[in-house]
Amino acid sequence: MTTEQLVDNRDYVNRGVEVSTHVGLVILLVAACFLFLRPFLPLITWGIIIAISVYPSYRKLQVALRDRGVLSSVVIMGVSKPSQHTSRTEPRSSHHPLPASKPGL
């Protein structure tokens, strides 16, 4: 083998190590992001589902309101979340008696 071939082989090996390191770091970063976002995945999924299902109604309302996007958003939010605008007459928690304590403890 000539010295030129050895240099070429070292370049290939160095490039392979560099690419492998970058791939490993990307996998580690994706795993860390997944672990961080894992508790929020159901909320994110439902948010995406609701956004996709409401978007056609939003566009129709926006056209009807002459391209007033903010007003359309306010109307859509008012229609989609009516339960937050009503007040409750009863307290949220019901009465749960504490368990009786045992004597001597």
Task: Judge if pTM exceeds 0.85.
Answer: no
pLDDT digits (tens, 9 = 90+) for 44-68: 999 999 999 999 999 999 999 999 9
What is the structure's pLDDT at 11? 83
Residue with the larger pLDDT of the pair 10 and 96: 10
Asked whether residue 9 is domain-assigned, the answer is yes
CA 68/CA 86 separation, integer angstroms: 27
For the chain, the 3-state helix, strand and coil shares in percent, each to the nearest 5, are 75, 0, 25
Q: Which structural domain, as residue segments, surrounds residue 35?
A: 3-77
Residue 83 has pLDDT above 80, yes or no: no
Asked whether residue 32 is domain-assigned, the answer is yes
What is the structure's pLDDT at 78? 84
pLDDT digits (tens, 9 = 90+) for 1-45: 676 666 678 888 889 999 999 999 999 999 999 999 999 999 999
**How many independent structural domains does the chain possess?**
1
Asked whether residue 37 is domain-assigned, the answer is yes
